[in-house]
Amino acid sequence: MDMADRGLLLILSGPAGVGKGTVCKALRERMPDLVYSVSATTRQPRPGEVEGVNYFFKSKEEFRRMIEQDELLEWAEYVGNYYGTPRAFVDAMLASGRDVILEIEVQGALQVKEKFPQGTFLFLAPPDLEVLENRIIGRGTESEETIRKRMEVARAEIELMDHYDYVVVNDEIDWACDRIQAIITAEHLKRERQVHKYRKWLKEVR
């Protein structure tokens, strides 16, 4: 299959509490063809959870083998269980021409960036700087130490933006989805994704 026909891997990330999950859900409702990247986990399935839809359920031994064999785009341990993104599922979807969305916190996104730099990395940002400032300063009753720590967190978050391709402000879910759809459209129109079919045609006609 031609490079031009492969799907895009969209990494939707951003600070905790910014609304990644809500935006991702709204976007998937709008774009039913967008494939949601299914995570692997070692935790027990909950009632109603379906293998391959909600998660790929793995034993700890299987998961550790996947880590060793470099079969995960990213992984983390959380309260005694492993969670990760299997590369094979993403690769298969992209190869069939489907776009894939991966919703993930910032540390995971950085891991994905190392393994899959050709992805499209979207940083979902808080609605405006005033909100960010209020979150840090609070009601003016916080200690200097608290404010200093929150500033450090905000600074670290902003530094992280450097690893992303786009910054999408989550002011309104609908507007954020409009922006992400525009980014998906534009990414597909990039010359390096389009020029292949013309070159192929030139060779065939020649």
Span of 32-40, 57-65, 67-75, 196-204 interacting with a copy of itself by CB under 8 A: 196-204
- Of the candidate residues 29, 77, 133, 174, the single one contacting a copy of itself (CB under 8 A): 133
Select 57 or 166, whichever has its Cβ closest to a copy of itself: 166
Q: Is 197 near a copy of itself (CB under 8 A)?
A: yes
Residue type, 88: A
Least distance between a copy of itself and beta carbon 195 (Å): 5
Instruction: Map the footprint of a copy of itself across residues 142-161, applying CB under 8 A.
Output: 151, 154-155, 158, 161
**β-pairing, 39-41 with 81-86?**
antiparallel
- Closest to 107 in 3D by CA, of 69, 156, 36, 171: 156
Q: Is 189 near a copy of itself (CB under 8 A)?
A: yes
Rounded-to-integer distance, Cα 195 and Cα 203, Å: 13
Rounded-to-integer distance, Cα 109 and Cα 118, Å: 13
Rounded-to-integer distance, Cα 37 and Cα 17, Å: 21
The total of other beta-carbon atoms located within 10 Å of residue 54's CB is 15
Least distance between a copy of itself and beta carbon 92 (Å): 27
Which two tokens mark 69?
């064999």
What is the Cα 30 distance to its own chain's centre?
Answer: 17
# residues near a copy of itself by CB under 8 A: 37
| Contact footprint for a copy of itself (CB under 8 A) | 123, 125, 129, 132-133, 136, 151, 154-155, 158, 161-162, 164-168, 178-179, 181-183, 185-187, 189-191, 194-195, 197-199, 201-202, 205-206
